Amino acid sequence: MNLKVNICGLELNNPVMPASGPLTGDLDKMIKLENSGLGAMVTKTISTKAAVVPRPCIVGTNNYILNTELWSEYSPEKWISEILPAYKEITKIPLIISMGYSPEDLSLLTPKLSQFADAFEISTHYVSEDPDLFKKIIDSIKNYSDKSVFIKFDPTIPNPEKMAQAVQNANGDGIVIMNSLGPVYPLNVNEKNSPLGSTNGFGWISGPVIKLLALALIKRVAKSCDLPIIGVGGISSAKDVIEFMMSGATGIQLLSSAMIKGKKVYSEIINNLPKELKKLGYNDINEIIGIAKNSNEEENFVKKTPVINLSKCVKCGLCVRACPYYALSMTSEEIIVNKDECFGCGLCQSRCPTKAISGVL
C-alpha cells in the first residue's frame, strides 16, 4: 500500500501532520510527535514577539476543544537560536514553519526562519476578508525565501472560492483548510462564567464538531483552483483522512483529536489507513485525492420512502420519536411507514442504530 504523497515538492511518507498548536510548541514536543510516524511536522505559529496566553486556555469534551491559545509563547529568537537548529539536526521529515501575522512581521521573520523551513504556513484569522492582503503577505515571504507558502483559511471566510483564486493569482503555493471557529462562549451556569481565562471568556472551537464545515470548504476550494490543499478540522480517524482527501485534500493535519483521545491517535491513523483504503479497493492513497469534489452537482427532488428490515430492527422506537413528519408508528410486531405522510427526508435512516432502515439515503 502506497501512502506517500507529494505536496509542492515535499515528499511525505504519509499525508498525516500535526496542526500548528500546543503539541508542536517546542523541541521536545516535536520530537515526541515525530516518533508517531508523521509525514511532516508543523510548528506552533511563530511571531515577532512571545505570546502572553490567558489561562486556563484549553478545555475539552469528547466532541470538541475550546482554546484561547495565541501564537508561540516563546520568542522568535529562542526558535531561531535553540529550537529549530536542534530539531533540524534530528528530524527526518519535512518541516513546515507556521508564521504570523502582518506583512511587516513576515518580512522580519522570513529571512531568519527560511534556512530551517521546507515550507511556510500563514494563518489568516486577521485577513480573511481582504484578498489584496494575501498578495502582500505572500510577497513579504517570497521576497526573502524560495520556500513554498501555504495560506491557512479561517472558517468564516466569506468567499473561499474568490480567496483561493486570490492566493493562486498571488503565486501562493497551497492552501490549508481550516482554522478553528469562533469566538464561542462556554458558559458554566453554576459558576455564571466561562472556564477560559480570556477576555469575556471567549474561545475558539475545533475538533470533530467542525469536521463537516471543513469538508465543505475543502470541496469548494478544490473545485475553484489548482492549488494543493492540506485539510484540517475535526479529523480523528483514518476514515476521516479518506473523506478529507476524497473531498480534495492532498495532505491532512490534526491536533484537537490528539488532545481529546491522546497523542496515540497519530500512529493509530497512520497504521489504519492501509486497511481502510484496502476495504475501498485502493492500493495507492493518491488514487482517492479529489474523487468526490465534483459529486452531487445537481439537486435531487425524488421522494424515496424508508424500507424496514425487521430482522435487524430491535424496536427501540428512535425512528418513530425522531420523525419530523409523524410518518412512522410502532406496533408490537413492526415499524409502520405511512407513505402519504412521509416526506422522504432521510432522518430515520441516518439515526437508526442497527442500520435496519434503508431506501432513502
Query: What tens digit of pLDDT does each residue of 290-329 get?
Result: 999 999 989 999 999 999 999 999 999 999 999 999 999 9
pLDDT at 126: 62
**CATH 3.20.20.60 holds for 307-358:** no
Name which of 233, 234, 229, 205 is nearest 219 in CA terms. 229
Q: Give the model confidence (pLDDT) of 192-204 as tens digits.
A: 999 999 999 999 9
Q: What is the mean pLDDT of residues 23-51?
A: 98
Range name among 3-7, 132-136, 149-153, 227-231 with the lowest pLDDT average: 132-136
Alpha carbon distance 180, 38 (integer Å): 22
Q: What is the mean pLDDT of residues 229-237?
A: 98
User: Which value, in Å, is the radius of gyration of the alpha carbons in the chain?
Assistant: 23
pLDDT at 158: 85
pLDDT at 123: 86
Secondary structure (DSSP) of 279-309: HTT-SBGGGGTTTTTT-S-S--------EE-
Q: What is the mean pLDDT of residues 278-294?
A: 97
pLDDT at 127: 60
Beta bridge partners of residue 97, listed in sequence order: 120
Alpha carbon distance 267, 215 (integer Å): 23
Percentage, residues of the chain above pLDDT 70: 99
Cis peptide before 195 (omega within 30 of 0): no
pTM: 0.95
pLDDT at 132: 83
Query: Taking 80 as the threshold, does the pLDDT of residue 343 lie above it?
Result: yes
Of 125 and 131, more confident:
131
Q: What is the mean pLDDT of residues 155-169?
A: 92
Alpha carbon distance 352, 332 (integer Å): 18
pLDDT at 133: 86
Alpha carbon distance 235, 225 (integer Å): 23
Query: Taking 80 as the threshold, does the pLDDT of residue 130 lie above it?
Result: no
For the chain, the domains span 5-288, 307-358
pLDDT at 242: 98
Alpha carbon distance 155, 330 (integer Å): 42
Name which of 104, 86, 87, 85 is nearest 40 in CA terms. 87
Q: Look at the chain and count its residues.
A: 361
Name which of 79, 70, 151 is nearest 117 in CA terms. 79
Alpha carbon distance 2, 348 (integer Å): 38
pLDDT at 265: 98
**Counts for the chain of helices (H) and strands (E), in that order:** 12, 18
Alpha carbon distance 176, 230 (integer Å): 5
pLDDT at 273: 98
Alpha carbon distance 104, 140 (integer Å): 7
Alpha carbon distance 88, 94 (integer Å): 9
Percentage, residues of the chain above pLDDT 90: 95
Query: Taking 80 as the threshold, does the pLDDT of residue 27 lie above it?
Result: yes
Alpha carbon distance 178, 253 (integer Å): 10
Q: What is the mean pLDDT of residues 121-145?
A: 85
Q: Give the model confidence (pLDDT) of 45-96 as tens digits.
A: 999 999 999 999 999 999 999 999 999 999 999 999 999 999 999 999 999 9
Q: E strands within the chain?
A: 5-7, 10-12, 16-18, 41-42, 58-60, 65-67, 95-99, 119-123, 148-153, 174-177, 181-184, 203-206, 229-232, 251-254, 307-308, 328-330, 335-337, 357-358
3-state secondary structure (DSSP) of residue 155: coil
Pick the CATH number of 5-288 from 3.30.565.10, 3.40.228.10, 3.40.50.620, 3.20.20.70: 3.20.20.70
Question: Is there a contact between 224 and 248 (Cβ–Cβ < 8 Å)?
Answer: no
Beta bridge partners of residue 3, listed in sequence order: none
State the pLDDT confidence band at 128, using cuts at 50, 70 and 90.
Answer: low
